[in-house]
């Protein structure tokens, strides 16, 4: 038995951040049992996240694998873990008041969010398809519940059910794909698949390609690429707004972490994938942008906008290689900042009574909340990719990576899409600055927690835009540690 254990290399040092998050979620679940202490749950959650973030940063530069090669600790995974934790911290700040107003401020919410983050971290760190799948499920199951948590609202119920069915459906695709890959290669370990790739491709090409396609469909659902995007608008609109903010950033980043790990590292030699991603990227950008033009609800518009942003990140997958991965990571960090900021303002506006985030509710906002409107404008400029925000730099890196590899048409289509997107982002600014309100507009009441969230995201959006060098170096150092 002893030699088994040493051969497995059980190294808990690799998963300290995961354990921290898990223990925090247990503590929060315990707190939720008692009414007296359940109001502490948000504070405990924050402490847990900060601790996990600290442990994650301590891992930087460390490389290793353990648990029978199921876990790989490398800079790529560490950067993604940091993205998930930072996004979660911002969402905790951003949702606090909204949840209180809507009567959702319960310990369970934070426990679910923590476990969901745990699942994402497991995904980012996995070097085995089984672990990847389990991480995806641990991430998704709490999200289904969180989407349907606001039970007084029919839209929220609808969002929960829709997300659950589409999620379960896509999981089936993913699992069948993994089964095919296992059938072809006899292993689920990505490292072994890479090592034996030419043998697998020659012996069982059908199962290999079928497996790869099914895995791609499974992740395509999760990140909301176009043929598989139909659930996104309804779920984003129906779910409680802080949950939507969380949806639009963290699981998307986790999905891209998995996509990059599986397709840029694992199946990099499947050459047809580049063409497949080309089509997906173009479809996702274009359809997302065109449908966003027609929306009258800000949340729904942001949902379609998040689809189109997924399209921009898919460009990195078309290109492949270290530069593209770095550009994708940069873009995901940037997207986390400005998208959470945009949703933060929407969340704040929805705490006004009866507010449903329609466009015409934004009218006259600059009269009642001038600073808030300015912040909203900043995030909209960043979403549409104006300099000097980080949105511009992110798009610049992605498209320059595409140009350097000779994907001229892809770049042209991408840039044209960015121009199209300016229309609907600027519509938000125009409505809030220049349109007169019909009655007396209700001012939005700022609370300290949401100010913290907005300040973090605004500073991130502007600061990273002005000084992108540090983040760029960080994302270039975030390489796969799996030789």
Partner 1 sequence: MNLDTVIFFAAAVVAVFGATMMIAQKNPIASALYLILSLVAQAILYVQLGGLFLGSILIVVYAGAIMVLFLFVIMLLNLRSSDDLGPPPPALGRFTKYAFGILLSVELIVIVKAARMPSKATGVLGFPVEDFGSVKAVSTQMFTTYVYPLELTGILMLIAVVGAVVIAKKENNAQVSDDSGSDRPAKKQVS
Is residue 137 a contact point for partner 1 (CB under 8 A)? yes
Establish if 451 lies at the interface with partner 1 (CB under 8 A). no
Minimal distance, residue 352 CB to partner 1, in Å: 7
Is 137 or 358 the residue whose CB approaches partner 1 more closely? 137
* Contact stretch for partner 1 (CB under 8 A) within 76-84, 138-146, 274-282, 408-416: 138-146
Interface mask toward partner 1 for 96-125; x: CB under 8 A = -x--xxxx-xx-x--xx--x--x---x---
Regarding 4 and contact with partner 1 (CB under 8 A), the answer is yes
Other residues' Cβ atoms within 10 Å of the Cβ of residue 10: 13
Distance of CA 338 to the CA centre of its chain: 12
Q: Please identify, among the stretches 80-88, 196-204, 217-225, 346-354, the one whose residues bind partner 1 according to the rule CB under 8 A.
A: 346-354
Per rule CB under 8 A, is residue 159 in the interface with partner 1? no
| Residue 48 makes contact with partner 1 by CB under 8 A | no
| Footprint of partner 1 on 407-446 (CB under 8 A) | 442, 445
Q: Does 186 bind partner 1 (CB under 8 A)?
A: yes
Residue 164 C-beta: closest distance to partner 1, Å:
10
Residue 313's nearest CA partner among 401, 434, 426, 422 is 401
From 239-247, 258-266, 350-358, 430-438, span contacting partner 1 (CB under 8 A): 350-358
Q: Give the nearest distance from C-beta 466 to partner 1 in angstroms.
A: 36
Whichever of 174 and 402 has its CB closer to partner 1, that residue is 174
Under the binding rule (CB under 8 A), the answer on residue 145 touching partner 1 is yes
Out of 27, 44, 70, 78, name the contact with partner 1 by CB under 8 A: 70
6 is a contact residue toward partner 1 (CB under 8 A): no
Considering the rule CB under 8 A, would residue 33 count as an interface residue with partner 1? no
- When asked if residue 353 is in the footprint of partner 1 (CB under 8 A), the reply is yes
Task: For the segment 71-90, give every residue that binds partner 1 (CB under 8 A).
Answer: 71
- For residues 108 and 99, the answer to whether their CB atoms sit within 8 Å is no
**Contact call for residues 94 and 450 (beta carbons, < 8 A):** yes
| Maximum pairwise Cα distance, the chain | 76
How many residues sit close enough to partner 1 to count as binding (CB under 8 A)? 50
Rounded distance, CA 172 to CA 174, Å? Answer: 5
Smallest distance from partner 1 to CB 110, Å: 11
Exactly one of 202, 271, 354, 436 binds partner 1 (CB under 8 A); which one? 354
Buried b (16+ CB within 10 A) or exposed e, 207-220: bbbbbbbbbbbbbb
135 belongs to the binding site for partner 1 (CB under 8 A): yes
Q: Does 151 bind partner 1 (CB under 8 A)?
A: yes
By beta-carbon proximity to partner 1, the closer residue of 131 and 456 is 131
Q: How far is the CB of 149 from partner 1 (least distance, A)?
A: 7
Extract the tokens encoding 303.
Answer: 């949902």
Which one, 141 or 479, has the nearer CB to partner 1? 141
> From the CB of 41, what's the least distance to partner 1, in Å?
12
Cβ distance to partner 1 smaller for residue 154 or 416: 154
Closest distance of CB 134 from partner 1, Å: 4
Q: Which residues pair with 257 in a beta bridge?
A: none
Could you tell me the smallest distance in angstroms from the CB atom of residue 72 to partner 1? 12
Q: Would you say 145 or 398 has its CB closer to partner 1?
A: 145
Q: For partner 1, which is the closer residue by CB, 182 or 197?
A: 182
Task: Give the integer Cα–Cα distance in Å for 288 and 267.
Answer: 27
Contact 236, 306 (CB under 8 A): yes
Which positions from 198 to 237 touch partner 1 by CB under 8 A, shown as an x/- string?
----------------------------------------
Write out the residues near partner 1 by the rule CB under 8 A. Answer: 4-5, 8, 10, 22, 29, 35, 67-68, 70-71, 97, 100-103, 105-106, 108, 111-112, 115, 118, 122, 128, 130-131, 134-135, 137-138, 141-142, 144-145, 148-149, 151-155, 160, 186, 351-354, 442, 445
């Amino acid at each position: 038995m002893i030699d088994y254990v040493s051969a497995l290399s059980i190294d808990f040092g690799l998963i300290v951040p995961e354990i921290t998050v898990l223990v925090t979620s247990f503590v929060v679940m315990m707190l939720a049992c008692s009414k007296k202490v359940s109001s502490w749950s948000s504070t405990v959650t924050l402490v847990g996240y900060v601790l996990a973030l600290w442990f994650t940063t301590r891992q930087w530069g460390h490389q290793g694998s353990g648990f029978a090669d199921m876990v790989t600790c490398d800079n790529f995974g560490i950067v993604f873990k940091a993205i998930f934790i930072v996004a979660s911290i911002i969402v905790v700040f951003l949702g606090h008041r909204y949840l209180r107003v809507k009567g959702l401020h319960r310990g369970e919410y934070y426990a679910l969010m923590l476990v969901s983050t745990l699942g994402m971290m497991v995904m980012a760190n996995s070097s085995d398809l089984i672990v990847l799948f389990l991480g995806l499920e641990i991430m998704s199951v709490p999200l289904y519940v969180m989407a349907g948590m606001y039970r007084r609202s029919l839209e929220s119920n609808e969002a929960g059910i829709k997300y659950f069915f589409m999620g379960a459906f896509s999981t089936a695709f993913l699992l069948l794909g993994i089964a095919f890959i296992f059938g072809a290669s006899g292993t689920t370990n990505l490292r072994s698949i890479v090592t034996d790739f030419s043998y697998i491709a020659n012996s069982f090409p059908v199962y290999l390609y079928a497996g790869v396609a099914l895995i791609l469909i499974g992740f395509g659902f999760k990140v909301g690429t176009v043929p598989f995007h139909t659930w996104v608008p309804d779920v984003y609109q129906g779910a409680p707004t802080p949950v939507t903010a969380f949806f639009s950033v963290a699981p998307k980043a986790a999905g891209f972490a998995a996509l990059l790990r599986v397709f840029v590292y694992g199946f990099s030699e499947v050459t047809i994938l580049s063409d497949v991603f080309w089509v997906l990227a173009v479809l996702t950008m274009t359809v997302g942008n065109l449908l966003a033009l027609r929306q009258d609800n800000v949340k729904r518009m942001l949902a379609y906008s998040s689809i189109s942003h997924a399209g921009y990140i898919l460009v990195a997958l078309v290109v492949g290689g270290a530069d593209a991965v770095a550009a994708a990571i940069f873009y995901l960090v940037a997207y986390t900042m400005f998208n959470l900021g945009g949703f933060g303002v929407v969340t704040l506006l929805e705490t006004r009574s009866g507010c449903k985030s329609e466009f015409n509710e934004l009218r006259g906002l600059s009269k009642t909340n001038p600073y808030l409107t300015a912040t909203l404008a900043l995030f909209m400029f960043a979403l549409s990719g104006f300099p000097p925000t980080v949105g511009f730099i992110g798009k610049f890196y992605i498209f320059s990576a595409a140009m350097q590899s000779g994907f001229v048409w892809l770049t042209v289509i991408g840039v044209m899409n960015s121009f199209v997107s300016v229309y609907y982002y600027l519509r938000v600014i125009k409505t809030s600055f220049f349109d007169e309100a019909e009655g007396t507009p209700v001012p939005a009441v700022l609370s300290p927690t949401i100010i913290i969230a907005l300040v973090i995201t605004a500073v991130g959006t502007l600061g990273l835009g002005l000084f992108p060098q540090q983040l760029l170096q960080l994302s270039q150092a975030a390489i796969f540690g799996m030789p």
